[in-house]
Amino acid sequence: MVKYKDIKSLTTDELKEWLNAAGEKPFRAEQIQNWLFCHQVRDFSEMNNVPPSTQAKLAAEFSIQSLTPAHRADSSDGTLKWLYKTYDGHFIETVMIPTNGRFSVCVSTQVGCAMNCSFCRTAKMGFTRNLEAGEILEEIIRVNWHLKDSNTLGEDGKIAQVTNIIFMGMGEPLNNLENVHRTCCTLHHQKLFNMGRKRMTLSTSGIVPKIKELVDRNTPCCLAVSLNSTNNERRSVVMPVNDTWPIEKLLEATDEYTRRTDNYVTFEFVLMKDVTCTDIAAKELIRICAPRRCKVNAIVLNPADDPTLEAPTPEEVEHFLALVRAAEIQITIRNPRGRDISAACGQLAYNQQKVVYAHTEST
């Protein structure tokens, strides 16, 4: 019946069903979830209004903590990056980016990734497995634990809490839509995290049928798409997903998303020297964006180990932005954060995986 090991993965109804089968009162599901998501307790024994016998049954069946911190890297710009070991021995990453009173968290949704984008370190790890909703939620909860333990204050003078979630860490979130949907529903639930839809953004490489499924499910989040190139030939070079779902199909899906949800789409655009940061790319970007309700989030490439890709110079970036803005397209440049701690997606876990493999090979 219960397929999840982490209790945070269960919906209220699933937890009620489990309690009922275990001879417990189903109403305790709300109490338990209140402890898990509002109080964010670290152990079943902290659930004061749950009888010790019930706590023991829960502890025998489920875990509250599925992730073990393996490493933390602190950037000079305030960005923090955690490397976690999962219960089955894999590595994932979570990044916290504090900006002007906001605490944004970029979460991983899979161990590795199958999408093979050329500019991404996670791609080089291959795909291992999907993360459970409980594991994704724990990435967020653990940042809250850090903010509490370090006595970090928000703008209101109270202990700070995570304010925004970006599903843009390791993995393609739409390839794990069931668990990402569960995560968003728990975060959005008024009696649990009570986080507004606009504070959660799912970023995809562009899996067209899954964008439609996201709309059908009414998953409470905003949509960002990694466009990165405006021309099929060039996009296929950096993002193989484009061979299956080329730009025209992708735009049909994002147009449908905009029509049915009344939300704009954000196009992520990584600026790569001589590939995506060119006059031709700027013109093509304008052609795509001008007729649509959208905005562009540009970011300068964070060079991984791929010697074939380079970051553009600041002058080249300014020139590109000026061309796009002249056409009245809303484009913002995201300052790269945490470069001194390898904050780009997958860099820390990839290095850790190399260490593990090197160790395995030498023993």
Q: Which residues bind ligand SF4 (CB under 6 A)?
A: 113, 115-117, 120, 122-123, 170-172, 205, 345
H helix or E strand, kind and range, residue 139: helix 133-149
Question: CA-CA distance, 184 to 170, in Å (whole number)?
Answer: 17
CB nearer ligand SF4, residue 113 or residue 147: 113
CB of 27 to ligand SF4, least distance (A): 41
Q: What single-letter DSSP state applies at residue 23?
A: T
CB of 222 to ligand SF4, least distance (A): 17
3-state secondary structure of 224: strand
Using CA atoms, how far residue 362 sits from 124, 236, 353, 358, 359, in Å, is 21, 37, 14, 6, 5
H helix or E strand, kind and range, residue 326: helix 314-326
Question: CA-CA distance, 252 to 110, in Å (whole number)?
Answer: 27
Question: CA-CA distance, 312 to 270, in Å (whole number)?
Answer: 10
The three-point CA angle 117-121-123 to 5° equals 45
93 is catalytic: yes
CB nearer ligand SF4, residue 18 or residue 119: 119
Tokens 């009344």 belong to residue: 262
CB of 92 to ligand SF4, least distance (A): 11
Catalytic residue among 117, 222, 289, 345, which?
345
CB nearer ligand SF4, residue 7 or residue 113: 113
H helix or E strand, kind and range, residue 204: strand 200-204
One-letter amino acid of 161: Q
H helix or E strand, kind and range, residue 111: strand 110-112
CB of 345 to ligand SF4, least distance (A): 5
CB nearer ligand SF4, residue 54 or residue 109: 109
Structure tokens at 293: 């309700």
Catalytic residue among 93, 139, 172, 268, which?
93
CB nearer ligand SF4, residue 16 or residue 171: 171
CB of 208 to ligand SF4, least distance (A): 14
Instruction: Report helix angle 133-149 to 177-188, nearest 10.
Output: 40
CB nearer ligand SF4, residue 115 or residue 208: 115
CB of 175 to ligand SF4, least distance (A): 8
Report, as residue numbers or ranges, the catalytic residues. Answer: 93, 345
